[in-house]
Amino acid sequence: MKVALMENQDFLSVTELLIACIVSCLVLVIIKSFNKSIPQGLKRVPGPKGYPLIGNVLDLGKNPHLALAKMSQKYGDVMQIHLGTRPVIVLSGLDTIRQALVKQGGDFMGRPDLYSFRYISDGQSITFGHDSGEVWRTSHKLAQNALKIFSASPSPVSSSCLLEEHVSNEADYLIMKFQERMKEEKSFDPYRYLVVSVANVICAMCFGKRYSHDDQELLSIVNLSNDFGEAAASGNPADFIPILQYLPNRTMKVFKDLNMQFSAFIRKIVKDHYISFDKENIRDITDSLIDHCQDKVDENANIQFSDQKIVNIVGDLFGAGFDTVTTALSWSLMYLVTYPEIQKKIQEEIDQTIGRERTPRLSDRSKLPYTEAFLLEMFRHSSFLPFTIPHCTTRETSLNGFYIPKDVCVFVNQWQVNHDPKLWKDPSTFQPGRFLAADGAGINRVESEKVLTFGLGKRRCIGESVGKGEVFLFLTTLLQKLEFSVCRGQLVDITPQYGLTMKHKRCEHFQIKQRF
């Protein structure tokens, strides 16, 4: 009995010693973090105190963009929080964000080495990858050029550019699907058709083909993309509490599986393109990347490009050209049925400028200022991309007089800028007219440049111009021919639901009426 008691006491002593060591280490880490010297003349970044181990996670709640915007009112445009054991710098205020991402772009152009990011394109993603050196620059430029060529180049079968042709074809098909559905039922949810049409546009540019709306391969990719957004939105605690990387995590397992399935889909497409590749007939973005890869070495950067690099770039371009455009169009339709007088005004502008005989063109954008103002207000008011993808500092730097260490994670709160009462009158009000020039005949460029959606600086979204053009073409083509409404007595809920891209609640009560 005594022996057992002594052994038990010994066990307790060892356990207590281990706990004491762990607590001591934590205290030392905390003391070290507070006492770390900073360069003379600079200040330590202010921020709220957090709880041990979890930091400020509980302070963020279900809507981190709102919580951080409120905190910035107390701590300023540069503040520091802790997510788990990881310090995070949060940037708010348009001038501060411009200073960091544009004027000091090289200092803030990195991506944090987050655990979950390592499983997106095997950690080699242009968008999410940790690398920001010469390999990233060359890949980024290659992707930009390929996207530009296969969106802006003249169509071989019409006088329009490739993007205009792809959107026109898909918009006409989408209108037909809407009309078919209205014949079957009194109302419907447009999202399920919209998402496939948008996917088909990027498929045409990347893969040189379109799919039917019932094609299982395309539907599986659409579902994968939606599931990816949901998994990313739920967050991964292991990104900020490293020890959790070694524990079972259902959400992370789903996230890994989704990325593996998506990579397998892209890899199959690339493999098929290699089989049918003809250097004299470059059909799409994948072909153009294979053509570049044939030389193996980039002449300017002396960097080898592998087949896996092609898979990664194509995957990034598909992702950049799909979810953002789908979400923007879905929000646009929700605002149009919420504010029918705005819809009517856009249609009058389209009728007067384009008429009903020809398809809208990208060159019409400058001639449709109210339509452009509506899209700007949609991006601002919804702020469906509340944060940019996290940044990371590449070197020690300073911002607004505060010391910022190297390799620190940086959040950029775009929602705060888009709803900052210092920048916008009545920011919670949906008002496209705020972007019109004084004479109403054009866009006030100063106001339009305040809207943050696609980030700024060196890490600005590579698909921004193509995405904006695609949203414009889809919207104007749909409104040229259709009028949207919801069933009488049905309310439309445009409350954003937090996520990597914020969605609205799905609405199954849409109705359409043919305009002519």
- In the chain the first and final C-alpha atoms are separated, in Å, by 95
Please give the biggest Cα pair distance in the chain.
98
Radius of gyration for the chain, computed over Cα atoms and rounded to the nearest angstrom: 25
Residue 307 has which token pair? 């087949």
Residue 132 has which token pair? 């920001």
Was 461 annotated as part of a binding site?
yes
DSSP 48: -
Residue found under tokens 């290659």? 142
Residue 469 has which token pair? 């053009």
Measured CA distances, 459 to 95, 97, 211, 400, 464 (Å): 17, 13, 32, 21, 11
Structural contact between residues 402 and 90, judged by C-beta atoms closer than 8 angstroms: no
Note the helical H segments in 185-277.
Answer: 191-207, 216-233, 250-276
Q: What sign for the dihedral angle of Cα 165, 479, 438, 423? A: negative
Distance separating alpha carbons of residues 412 and 502, to the nearest angstrom? 16
Measured CA distances, 60 to 63, 75, 112, 114, 440 (Å): 7, 15, 20, 19, 41
Residue 305 has which token pair? 């490009």
DSSP 510: E
Read off φ and ψ for residue 154, nearest 5 degrees: -65, 145
Residue 506 has which token pair? 């799905």
Beta-bridge partner residues of 43 = 402
Structural contact between residues 107 and 84, judged by C-beta atoms closer than 8 angstroms: no
279-307 burial, b if ≥16 CB within 10 A, otherwise e?
eeebebbbbbbbebbeeeebeeeebebee
Element (H, E) at 151: helix 134-152
Distance separating alpha carbons of residues 185 and 33, to the nearest angstrom? 62
Residue 280 has which token pair? 């004299």
Structural contact between residues 308 and 336, judged by C-beta atoms closer than 8 angstroms: no
C-alpha 179, offset from chain centre: 31
DSSP assignments along 224-242, one per residue: HHHHHHHHHHT--GGGTSG
Task: Count CB atoms within 10 A of the CB of residue 355.
Answer: 9
Nearest of 377, 328, 388, 396 to residue 92 by alpha carbon: 388
- Which residue ranges make up the annotated binding site? 461
- Which residue ranges make up the annotated binding site for heme? 461
